[in-house]
Amino acid sequence: MKIHILTLFPDMFAGPFADSIIGRAVDQGLVEIDIYNIRDYTRDKHHVVDDSPYGGGPGMVLKPEPMFEAVEAVKGDGEVPVILLTPQGRLFNQTVAAELAGREEMVLVCGHYEGVDERVRQHLVTDEISIGDYVLSGGEFAAMVVVDAVVRQLPGALGSEESVGDDSHSNGLLEYPQYTRPQSFRGWEVPQILLSGNHAEVERWRRGQSLKRTAERRPDLMERVALSDEDKELMARVEREEI
Ligand code: ADE
């Protein structure tokens, strides 16, 4: 996979992309991440990237020319998605991350200031993504969030393939509780069933805990999950407080 990131603040990406899962995926050649400074695509002496809005008002607007030049210079031929990070975009979630993880190449454009010239939206970008209903100072952190969620889904990016499937949201539910050694910590015990060695019982317990946790914390997610007969039985046990 190839990810091109266009930003006015390229230095922001060095740290977050150097370590952990993204750093390893880059080292393994699973993904190439290239960062470009939009300012390098200006043609005027002062490298101006923004200007005041037509019609007046506060703040500055990113000019279209450097954005178009940058995107056209970095993306290959063909259907490469050009994604603007903006609070006006469609909400990012695990489904969108999985969709992007299936792409071979994408361009992420980080907006800044009051916004970008509308012609960038209309004629350059193919998609707009928001990472949540709040306003960040720019699209950089949002791009990092998107890259992290996408790259960890690439085959081989995680130590074991199973880990992605177990993630919260990967099956539409929140993840079940996890425990590790010691078995007893300050008097708090690991649930007995996890020590039983009965794989089927452990799986059932985990599914029940996932359902319970999701119903309690994110009832909105429950509406979209297709419950099996066994799930319904588990939910009934949750309601009877047996789980
Ligand atoms: N830029 C500013 N706020 C943002 C958000 N919530 N999501 C994506 N990009 C942004």
pTM: 0.93
Q: Quote the ligand 1 centre to 139 CA distance (angstroms).
A: 5
Q: How many CA atoms lie within 13 A of 46 on its CB side?
A: 4
Torsion angle defined by CA atoms of residues 198, 209, 94 and 1, in that order, rounded to the nearest 10 degrees: -20
Catalytic residue among 65, 69, 105, 114: 114
Tens of pLDDT along the chain (243 residues) come to 999 999 999 999 999 999 899 999 999 999 999 999 999 999 999 999 999 999 999 999 999 999 999 999 999 788 899 999 999 999 999 999 999 999 999 999 999 878 999 999 999 999 999 999 999 999 999 999 999 999 999 999 998 755 777 788 888 999 999 999 999 999 999 999 999 999 999 999 999 999 999 999 999 999 999 999 999 999 998 889 888
Cα–Cα separations (whole angstroms), residue 171 to 38, 66, 98, 148, 199: 38, 41, 12, 18, 20
> Which residue matches tokens 């954005």?
67
Assess whether the C-beta atom of 132 lies below 6 angstroms from ligand 1.
yes
CA 40, CA 85: separation in Å to the nearest integer?
20
Instruction: Give the pLDDT score at 167.
Output: 80
CA torsion 192-193-195-200 (nearest 10°) is 180
Collapse the DSSP code of 230 into the 3-class scheme (helix H, G, I; strand E, B; otherwise coil) and give the result.
helix
At 96 the three-state DSSP class reads helix
Q: How far is CA 38 from CA 17, 62, 66, 132, in A?
A: 19, 10, 6, 24
Ligand 1 pocket, residue 131 CB under 6 Å: yes
Strands of the chain, DSSP E: 2-7, 32-37, 50-51, 61-62, 82-91, 105-110, 115-116, 127-130, 184-185, 188-189
Q: Ligand 1: distance of its center to the CA of 201 in Å?
A: 43
Nearest residue CA, atom 6 of ligand 1?
Answer: 87
Give the pLDDT of residue 109: 98
16 is catalytic: no
Q: Pick the closest to residue 111 from 59, 58, 73 (CA basis).
A: 59
Cα–Cα nearest to 236, from 227, 225, 177:
227
Please give the number of the atom of ligand 1 that sits closest to the Cα of 133. 6
Helix residue ranges, H only, 185-228: 199-217, 219-222
The pLDDT value recorded for residue 162 is: 59
C-alpha dihedral, 141 to 147 to 148 to 150, nearest 10° = 140
CA distance 177 to 87: 32
Q: Ligand 1 within 6 A of 134 CB?
A: yes
